[in-house]
Amino acid sequence: MGQRKYFGTDGVRGTVGEYPITADFALKLGWAVGKVLGKGHGGKVLIGKDTRISGYMFESALEAGLIAAGVDVLQLGPMPTPGIAYLTRTFRADAGIVISASHNPYDDNGIKFFSEDGYKLPDSVELEIEAMLDQPMDTVSSAELGKARRIEDARGRYIEFCKATIPSSVSLSNLKVVLDCANGATYHIAPDVFRELGAEVIAIGVEPNGRNINAGCGATDTSKLAEKVLAEKADLGIAFDGDGDRVMMVDAKGEQIDGDQLLFIIARDAKKRDKLQGGVVGTLMTNLGMEKALAKHDIPFARAKVGDRYVMEMLKQNNWQFGGESSGHVICLQATTTGDGIVAALQVLAVMAKAGLSLHDLKSGMSKYPQTMINVRLPSREAKPMDSEKVKSAIEAEEKILADRGRVLLRASGTEPLIRVMVEGEDAAQVKESAQRLATVVEESC
């Protein structure tokens, strides 16, 4: 398979104004996507975005490129990434385009794609689009140009979809919930979903101004949410990231509950109801405490590479339904085709409502192991300390010390010249010392 020039693990992403996150590239990308996915004249592509100020510019540029390729455009406006995946399917569109940099700050942006079935594009299609980008851009005849129109009820359609992912017998009327929408794409959707299901909702992070997305709020920083939950004496808090595909929670005591713990709660409940269908997929970074807790319930567990697309690949290979990352990507394939923060949160609240238990009680079945992560900066991208025999034998030595009470993981960052040294185990002090020793060996081997 060829080397991808523009596409990373999740579409094209970077700083606004720096190539390829520019208006002229977006225009050409829209055209290339129109040619490959829109199949030229008569095709139909959806475009949605988060709340970043640069979204207007990229929406217009992509739209112009698609229309030049003879493809019709349906604009969704601000919409969570999983909402765009859902609407791509229900509109029988050829593709869905998401303009978002997810949990990144506002001066970044990105463009990612869903195929007609609501799944992320396979590598082979991304390579086809890249090949088309190298061709000169042409415009179809005036008679064949695409048209653009706005889908006025996109928001309402997605709200109804989210609500339908839990049984109609489940009411959230006994719950007081604080929502932090990260001033992002869920701001005008999540509060209505939870209110319409009966919960008392206090919403923060619902005043986007184009520049405050993910700024000290949302799934990447739950401190404001925890404060609000305690101040309001709420039952729990739910935080989404800027594009709504990640979720973190806070219990009534203000303690954070991450993606691993949420996944454990959902999977354990599915197992009890005999609805699990196989096991659970995590990643190399999934906490060892989750693996051990799942084993106690005889739930199989597999680790994929870091990144929700790899979790999804492994779920499909195994024909399993539940997977995710500690960062808050939680995939429930019995309900939808991609990680969806609102849908995942609803599954957890449905378990709470049916069991009559607090979130704090539900998470008690899993103890997170202490984890230490040290980033070792490399002098250059050419440095390959992981190939060093000294590093390999140091890893072996630490693994012997930890035995089955912990684990060691060293991996190169995909975005920066770093080696991430991660150690986790039962004993926090031992874990810290082990990580420090390994980090020193890696530094010396550069």
Active site residues: 102
* DSSP assignment of 339-392: --HHHHHHHHHHHHHHHT--HHHHHTT--PPPEEEEEEE-SSTT--GGG-HHHH
Cα separation, 93 vs 275, in Å, equals 31
Cα separation, 197 vs 203, in Å, equals 15
Residue 87 gets the label, from left (phi > 0), alpha (psi -120 to 50) or beta, of: alpha
- Burial environment of residue 292 by CB neighbours within 10 A (0 to 12, 13 to 18, 19 or more): middle
Measuring CA to CA, which residue among 339, 80, 122 is closest to residue 213?
80
Cα separation, 243 vs 81, in Å, equals 6
What are the C-alpha distances in Å from 131 to residues 2, 32, 39, 45? 10, 9, 15, 20
Q: Decide the pairing of beta strands 200-204 and 176-180.
A: parallel
- What the block records as the tokens of 352 is 């709470």
Residues 6, 14: contact at Cβ < 8 Å?
no
Half-sphere exposure of 132 (CA within 13 A, CB side): 25
Number of H helices, E strands in the chain: 14, 18
First to last CA, the chain: 31
Residues 236, 361: contact at Cβ < 8 Å?
no
Measuring CA to CA, which residue among 245, 96, 95 is closest to residue 162?
245
What are the C-alpha distances in Å from 372 to residues 401, 408, 423, 438, 446? 16, 10, 5, 11, 21
